[in-house]
Structure 1
Amino acid sequence: MVRMKWLQEAAVLVCGLLAAGAGAQDFPNKPVTLIVPYGSGATDTQYRKLAELASRSLGQPVIVENKPGGNGTIGPVQMARTAKPDGYTISASTVSLLRQPHLQSVNWNPLTDFTWIIGVGGYSFAVVVREDSPFKTLADMVTWAKDNPGSLTYGTPGQGSSLHLLMADLAKRAGFTAIHVPYKGGGETTTAMLGGHVMVTLNNVGSVNAQVEAKTARILSIFDAERLSHFPNVPTTKELGYDIVYSSPYGIVGPRNMPPAVVKRLHDAFKVAMEDASNKVLLDTLSLIPWYRSSEQYAKWAVPAFQTEREFIERAGLLKTQ
């Protein structure tokens, strides 16, 4: 009797594995949903281009669904909790996934609750003002902020975002205070700065490229290790005397326990997409950088990056209390 029960359970297991394998082999046979956890801006533009190009390789549409909020974590976390690990619902991922658990108590784990599919790019971040701002340089902004404590207002794509932490770190090093105004994405932040609702925005360069070229906005500094070829006259924050260099990779994740064959199919399609000439042109236009990591490399990168984000938050004085 025990042997019969064991054989029945083994048969069910084998059938399940065969069914999963069969499902993986014909993946995808319907549209794939790609969640983008931000509104309009460079991030949304980049992922829509990748979705368009990946659709060609997959033979099925990749439909972008925007779910902003939670500093870019609501969308992917909801996916991880509710989506089947069959590859038909995946999400854009930024370092916010690795940061949020250090900022507040959460009931999810970025290292165990996601399948890390592919790393595709990285942001360049900048301090930006309107062209008619009295701040012509970063030194002007710092001096004014010191002379007018708590009066400088700055917008970012969210509480606890890379840009919020960068300004907090800069303020701490330079010795000034400022008022943070969080928004839901780079597009909203740029609009707020241009409309005079905030004096400064910290944003990815891609979200302000058009405005800078149209001479309605001006970049005071960037947080890259070196100056950008697109804006060679813009200094790095480090060369201005503040030892802050920060890059922010982004990629694609899925729910945990995805079949390896499905992960490979998605990885390969998005790798072809990121290597497409039209995507390279877009990256240059948005001042984004290519950052390819295979599924294995992306998952391995996340482990030390999780600790690095903790240290970044601690330097900014925003580490959650236990």
Structure 2
Amino acid sequence: MTAIAITAAGGPEVLVPARMAVPVPGQGEILVKVKAAGVNRPDLMQRQGLYPPPPGAPLTPGLEIAGEVAALGTGVQRYETGDRVCALVQGGGYAEYAVVHEDNALPIPPGFSFEEAAAIPETFFTVWTNVFDRGGLQEGQTLLVHGGSSGIGTTAIMLAKALGSTVVVTAGSDEKCQACRDLGADLAINYRTQDFVAVMKEAKLEAHVILDMVGGDYVARNFRVAAMNARIVQIAFQKGSKIDIDLMPLMLKRLYLTGSTLRPRSVAEKAEIARALEDTVWPLFAGGQIRPKIFRTFPLAKACDAHALLEQSEHIGKVVLKV
């Protein structure tokens, strides 16, 4: 099969198509003929040598796929060959075939293209586990999302609004802010021209849950806009993970500062998230209430161009590879 190899740690140019053996599904696993694969920032970090795959995971990048079941490992019960699925994989998504445990795969929602389905697993798994599980966002509460126009951000906006929350986002341009409002954000703040702390205070808004992929000086600023007993969830550190900070607000407001990563989690842990999504989010897909926002697609062989686009941070929504 054709798959994308990382020839060395470096820029997008190190991603090149290569011939590799088709993986063989093991106990409880399915082999998926990949039709589309999502592109995510962890893929960029892996390419740069900053985020190595977990032990036993494929070296080929790619954490989310959509396609058709091509073969079954022993003991598979839920799926049959030909079924349309999307799945969260430990790696290997940038390829013509990928293997995943059946419990980490989900049926493609009716009416969804493979490209739309490939934009679901990584982002929706991430948003669900961090905003609703660890963050505990409830109907009627306010969610603050930094990076509102990213794949994670657009997903968080749609899902939180569909489940009854007020949503505030930060984004890097007026165009991105408008796109976030179009998706349902109640307040969108251009962080290049506005101070989100001042804007939220003027609007008399406090956040009950904050989803932060920025870090750096945003951590202290998050404390300032957090409501009493708010939950702040770190999922990345684009401005750095090492900071000098006054933790007094953490104590006075009884805040919860937490964080998580998704890729190293066990099959069983990811399966639990998958079942929660199927119970809560799949009906929203079926009802037409939410749909992944695709910014641009690239052919598999142009994975390097997809990475270059993501690094420019000009996208609004998801970038997807067509296989």
TM-score (norm 2): 0.33
Between Structure 1 and Structure 2, which shows a larger proportion of helix residues?
1
Higher relative contact order (CA 8 A, sep 6+): 1
TM-score (norm 1): 0.33
